[in-house]
Amino acid sequence: MVFFQKHLYGDYGDKESPTGGGTEKHSANEWPLWEIFIRSKQGLDHKHVGSLHAVDAQMAIENARDVYTRRQEGVSIWVVESKHIHASNPDEAESFYEPANDKVYRHPTFYDLPDEIKHM
């Protein structure tokens, strides 16, 4: 019998290693999943571009360079093992973000920004 499991963003890779250590050799089907973030030449922030499997962070960076920056469009790469990303549940977004709705002073509609400020 096949069971399907719903995963939220960042849920992949939570399976503990049977030996309990983090430095053991991995076979190709056990490599951890890494999330890849690239900062482009004209960008100010890193953007999530995809995921890949790699043995360690160095291999993930090198593979990300080969896969996601083939046209030399990136200037910086971040890799994060997926099991270290924790995310809110999209199904609970309304109740999760509800407390911020009564704080109107946090919305930028009350502020006039000078023309000199570019990246706001």
Q: What is the CATH number of the domain that holds 105?
A: 3.10.20.520
CA angle 19, 35, 3 (to 5 degrees): 65
Sort 118 into a burial class: Cβ within 10 Å, 0-12 / 13-18 / 19+.
exposed
Q: Which residue range is the domain that position 87 belongs to?
A: 29-110
Q: Is the pLDDT of residue 4 over 70?
A: no
At 59, which amino acid appears?
M
Judge whether 52 lies within some domain.
Answer: yes
pLDDT band of residue 13 (cuts 50, 70, 90) is very low
Q: Is the pLDDT of residue 80 over 50?
A: yes
Q: How far is CA 39 from CA 45, 72, 77, 78, 89, in A?
A: 6, 11, 7, 8, 26
Q: Is the pLDDT of residue 7 over 90?
A: no
pTM (2 decimals)? Answer: 0.59
Judge whether 16 lies within some domain.
Answer: no
Q: Which among 13, 7, 17 is positioned nearest to 91, based on CA atoms?
A: 7
DSSP string, 56-116: SHHHHHHHHHHHH-TTS-EEEEEEEEGGG-----GGGHHHHHGGGGG-GGGSGGG-PPPTT
Q: What average pLDDT does range 1-13 have in this prediction? A: 48
What average pLDDT is seen over the chain? Answer: 78
pLDDT band of residue 79 (cuts 50, 70, 90) is very high
Q: Is the pLDDT of residue 85 over 70?
A: yes
Tens of pLDDT, residue by residue over 14-66, are: 444 444 444 445 565 689 999 999 999 888 899 999 999 999 999 999 999 99
Looking at the structure of the chain, the number of domains it has is: 1
Judge whether 69 lies within some domain.
Answer: yes
